[in-house]
Structure 1
Amino acid sequence: MKIATWNVNSIRTRAEQVTNWLQANPVDVLCLQETKVVDRDFPRSPFEDLGYHLYISGQKSYNGVALFSQTPMSDVAIGFSSLLGDAVAEFDLQKRAIAATLEDVRIVNLYVPNGSAVGSDKYEYKLQWLQVLHDYLKATGDRTDKICICGDFNIAPDDRDVYRDTKDTDIMASPAEREALQTQILDLGFIDIFRKFHEDGGHYSWWDYRRGGFANNRGWRIDHHYLTPALRDRARHCAIDIAPRRLERPSDHTPVVLEL
């Protein structure tokens, strides 16, 4: 089973790039973030024509997540409220989470808030969102021990994942964000499976559009796959495909592909 995650930064802008990539890389499941379109306007036909089943949760201009699968998925659930109830409904107003099951694997596709700036209201929201994610993952773990979480986490786990030395004031690399990644996800037993295959630094999945970020390889690794221990030994490969970032008008992110 091949599972890819890709923040496409507008599916309507990059529908052709995604269809071309899928034709060259026919993964079993593609998890998209930042689709930026309401469900009724999602460009379904190019992907359905390739044989994919689509499961989407979108909003206008911002956020949005989707799952494309070659085989129908089961138990599709949108947002955190599906498991945690109305108490967390405010965290589902932004469309950032969708989950479904393929074979025996529960796939959770996430678009973690960016946080804007350390200490800002959006930063505090990000930390609260990650706490709700922790509760959601615990509830998911009560149902199955085979879970793959993937998506744009907007957090670089450590300095190997950033092209330069980071400061405590850097969004996506601040101590509180990294601590939240540890306590809210890794301490539940999840494994950053990319590190099983690549222990060295210099591997990036996002490059800023500004200041020649990609041309100068000023990147960050913020798009991840996390697996429960029950899936660790089933992982055969995990790699970043930088080819789409070389295209004209690309997303600022590029796909990360996991093979189980």
Structure 2
Amino acid sequence: MSWTIATFNVNSVRSRLPVLERWLNNSKVDVLCLQETKARDEDFPLQAFVDMGYFVAFRGQKSYNGVAIASLEEPDEIVYGFDDGKEPVFDTRALSVRFGDIWVMNTYVPQGKSIDHDDYMVKQEFLRRTQTTISDRISDGKRVLWVGDMNVAPEEKDVANPKNKAKHVCFHRDIRDLFGTVCQGLVDVFRSHRPEEGEFSFWDYRVKNALDRNIGWRIDHILASPDLAKLSSDSWIYRDPRGWEKPSDHTPVLASFDL
């Protein structure tokens, strides 16, 4: 069975609904992980997803954060945030669903603001807690997919003009090293299929003609435990939606698996 998962920072699910409908009504996506939905739960456009055939788990807040997972199959289990007993729970930044022995963990990792800001420490702690959650699930005999907007570009080829980004919170050496530690034992599914340069998932609105000039970042990722990664048949960035009317500053990243 071919099974496709996608991750997409929509930068407001209600604003991006026309983009989502245009895409999903013409493409088969079994599981869609959304970040930065920016909608309170009572304002989430649930019916639109139901009309497209999806079950949706979501948790959000007004004008900020928010995560959702839409799936053609209803999951066996849903976990909002981190269930490690610690505060904050981060339930509008982390959401997990389980299908049989497969956990899908969708995260919107804090950006961090700057390397001397308190939020940078929050970002690092969020990544460490993610690592613990993933390790616990693998130890429990489950297969794991960790997807989302990670706000980390792991390698120089994952960002345009890397020499200018050395002190950026999404590319600083320390955060890249920590991200590498969190990813130990996981496979970057996109890179296993697309090793070339110039592949990005985010183009900043503030950079003039960023998409046309391909001045971007690859900060949206699909990472898999090895047992799942070996079943991956392809992974790609769907660049088109970034050029549609009223786009997000991100675009979908997808991966297909032969389960």
TM-score computed with the length of structure 1 as normaliser:
0.94
State how far apart, in whole Å, the 1-side matches of 2:89 and 2:120 are.
Answer: 14
State how far apart, in whole Å, the 2-side matches of 1:181 and 1:141 are.
Answer: 18
- Equivalent residue letter for 1:220: W
Match of 1:102 among 99, 102, 111: 99
2:122 matched to 1:118? no
Provide the residue aligned with 1:141 in structure 2: 138
Provide the residue aligned with 1:49 in structure 2: 51
Offset at residue 254 of structure 1 (A): 0.2
State how far apart, in whole Å, the 1-side matches of 2:212 and 2:169 are.
Answer: 22
Cα–Cα, structure 1 residues 103 and 145, in superposed 2: closer, same or farther, change >3 Å?
A: closer
Q: Which runs of 4+ in 1 moved over 6 A?
A: none
Provide the residue aligned with 1:204 in structure 2: 200
Deviation by residue 1:145-193 (Cα, 9 ceiling, x = unmatched) = 411110000000110101112343122100111011111x222x01111
Match of 1:252 among 249, 252, 259: 249
Structure 1: give runs of 5+ residues left out of the alignment: none
Provide the residue aligned with 1:14 in structure 2: 16
Provide the residue aligned with 1:38 in structure 2: 40
2:224 matched to 1:227? yes
Where 2:162 maps in the other structure, the secondary structure is coil
- Equivalent residue letter for 1:101: R
Provide the residue aligned with 1:169 in structure 2: 167
State how far apart, in whole Å, the 1-side matches of 2:179 and 2:39 are.
Answer: 28
Provide the residue aligned with 1:180 in structure 2: 178
Offset at residue 91 of structure 1 (A): 4.2
Alignment RMSD (CA, Å): 1.2
User: What fraction of aligned residue pairs are identical, expressed as a percent?
Assistant: 37
Provide the residue aligned with 1:241 in structure 2: 238
Deviation by residue 1:63-100 (Cα, 9 ceiling, x = unmatched) = 100010111111111100x2x12xx22142x6111111
Preserved CA contact (<8 Å) 1:106 1:144: no
Offset at residue 134 of structure 1 (A): 1.5
State how far apart, in whole Å, the 2-side matches of 1:3 and 1:103 are.
Answer: 16
State how far apart, in whole Å, the 1-side matches of 2:65 and 2:243 are.
Answer: 23
Offset at residue 103 of structure 1 (A): 4.1
Aligned residues: 253
TM-score computed with the length of structure 2 as normaliser:
0.94
State how far apart, in whole Å, the 2-side matches of 1:139 and 1:60 are.
Answer: 32
Where 1:171 maps in the other structure, the secondary structure is coil
Preserved CA contact (<8 Å) 1:162 1:220: yes
State how far apart, in whole Å, the 1-side matches of 2:4 and 2:119 are.
Answer: 34
Offset at residue 257 of structure 1 (A): 0.7
Structure 2: give runs of 5+ residues left out of the alignment: none
